[in-house]
Chains A and B, each alone.
Chain A
Amino acid sequence: MADEKVIEKLKELWTKYEEIDGKFDEEMDPVFKEPYYPGVAEKLFNPDKPMENRITDIGPPYFRQFLPPIIKKNYGKWVSHEIIQPGVLKYESETGDVIYVVRCGTPRLETTDYIREICDIADKYCDGYVRWTTRNNIEFHVDSEEKLKALIEDLKNRKHPNGSYKFPIGGTGASVSNIVHTQGWIHCHTPAIDASGVVKSIMDELFEYFGSHKLPAKTRLALACCLNMCGAVHCSDIAIVGIHRKPPMVEDDRIQHVCEIPLAIAACPLGAIKPATVEIDGQKKKTVRVNAERCMFCGNCYTMCPAMPIADGEGDGIAIVVGGKVTNRISPPKFSRVVIPFIPNEPPRWPTAVKWIKHILEVYSQHANKYERVGDWIERIGWEKFFELTDIPFTEKSIDDYRLAYTTYRTSTHFKFTKHIEIK
């Protein structure tokens, strides 16, 4: 019954879509039909009258304008899909239509030249249509096996001058797909580690897992360069997060002018910051003091107050967390947990961090059952077994000590003896 209602509702929606599409086909925004005119900003923007000719609140373009016709036609009518080889999917519709999808890795940070190359490929094989996935892979859609073969051949042969694949095919099924990551030293002001550099180093080492299906289940990797955790590190199978190990500096001479001091105080999750007054050149200045004993170096105060910088070449580094997931398949979603509290920054290849990640992935791959995500596997065998199997030294840093910490301790006599337990 419920199913019927859902189908009813969907049918209603599709009718609506068709109406809207009709409107869009008639009056598609000319912006998408005309070639881009680079002088448009200068022509329309008058700095003396910034509100003149101003267009605003128009939102993103309507997505259905950019659907390949075959996808538009079969929208909501797909019946099955099949992964025919790593990186290549085949979808079948109730109308009998078939579409093949080739998924390619990308570095996420891209030049316009690279995007133009993607557009050329899309023009050549896909009637100009292409999409990006939620892990920043690219997907090319083709409607016949001949086109599929030609497309794959073409993609395989495209390389950067130094040898890296431009469009490696993979990222489907039980693979290591792209790493969701952040800005790092390329653009952000609060990172403890780099993003793009670490990601390239890891993906080079795990490349075989991108284009194959040899893992027990898909393994999601993510990276965030500070504890803000932009992205997915808190809910990924294996993730990397940048951390500091020293308290912030306080620039007494300017903090009063560039910071809203109460904001900095309220930014601290541990109440480690209190207001203070100092005398500089005979002048009283408002500032703050940080109780270093209480500070856990989260850097949140620096986010709010530019006069409290915290980054430090030697202090900063990588923490590795594992066992998170977002899907509801079999087990509920999980947060990832700290297993390696610190690995130093080692640009440009981060060998120690890369080694540990690969090692964790391999041990998981060896021991987990089919369909078990990293977190499912660890919960089955127990965390003490995870540490034993992976040879990761367990430190007190993995023991929660923040507010609701109690719920993470073991309130049971159930445990396994491991080599971590020494009986004297």
Chain B
Amino acid sequence: MPTVEYKGKVFEVDEDGFLQAGLDAWCQEWVEYVKEQEGIQELTEEHWKVINILQDYYKKNGVAPMVRILSKLTGFPLKKIYELFPSGPGKGACKMAGLPKPTGCV
């Protein structure tokens, strides 16, 4: 399994850069690291709102929310979510939040 080192921390990731140990390995440094990877200039409160909601939903339900539910819970339309996370809610926001990589016919 490849690892990445960032600010003294070591993360085990898969080939797409998702955390192998999921939320167990998630920390502030991980967010900073993904932020750089995703070309996000600055993490705003709005970014954090999405991350927190994703994590809460995941802890409670064991799955990532459907896009419509994410929009409803955050109050952000999909367009806004893409503005915050250019790679989108799956590849961008879920990765940053430490959720498992999206599966299925994507």
Check if A and B associate: yes
B61 and A262 within 8 A (CB): yes
Interface residues of B in 48-106 (CB under 8 A from A): 58, 61-64, 86, 100-101, 103-105
A305 and B63 within 8 A (CB): no
B61 and A259 within 8 A (CB): no
Residues of A contacting B: mostly? loop
Stretch from A19-27, A48-56, A77-85 contacting the other chain: A48-56
B63 and A262 within 8 A (CB): yes
Q: Answer yes or no: A257 CB below 8 A from chain B CBs.
A: yes
Q: Chain B, interface size: which category? A: 10 to 19
Q: Which of A258, A305, A306 has the most CB of B within 10 A?
A: A258
Residues of A near B20 (CB, < 8 A) are 254, 257-258
What separation, in Å, do the CA atoms of A391 and B97 have in the docked complex? 58
Closest to A267 in B: B104
Q: Answer yes or no: B22 CB below 8 A from chain A CBs.
A: yes
Among candidates B64, B86, B103, residue contacting A305 with C-beta atoms closer than 8 Å: B103
Q: Answer yes or no: A303 CB below 8 A from chain B CBs.
A: yes
Q: Answer yes or no: B24 CB below 8 A from chain A CBs.
A: yes
Among candidates A47, A50, A257, residue contacting B100 with C-beta atoms closer than 8 Å: A257
What separation, in Å, do the CA atoms of A286 and B61 have in the docked complex? 13
A260 and B64 within 8 A (CB): yes
Residues of B near A261 (CB, < 8 A) are 62-63
Q: Answer yes or no: A228 CB below 8 A from chain B CBs.
A: yes
Q: Answer yes or no: A270 CB below 8 A from chain B CBs.
A: no
B104 and A262 within 8 A (CB): no
B103 and A303 within 8 A (CB): yes
Q: Answer yes or no: B21 CB below 8 A from chain A CBs.
A: yes
**Taking the nearest CB of chain B, how far is it from the CB of A242, in angstroms?**
16
What separation, in Å, do the CA atoms of A50 and B87 have in the docked complex? 10
What separation, in Å, do the CA atoms of A47 and B40 have in the docked complex? 11
A228 and B105 within 8 A (CB): yes
> What 4 pairs across the A-B complex have the smallest Cβ distances?
A50-B39, A257-B22, A260-B63, A262-B62
14 further A-B pairs in the complex, CB-CB below 8 A; given A259-B103, A286-B62, A305-B103: A47-B39, A50-B38, A50-B39, A51-B39, A51-B86, A228-B105, A257-B19, A257-B20, A257-B21, A260-B58, A260-B64, A260-B100, A263-B103, A306-B103
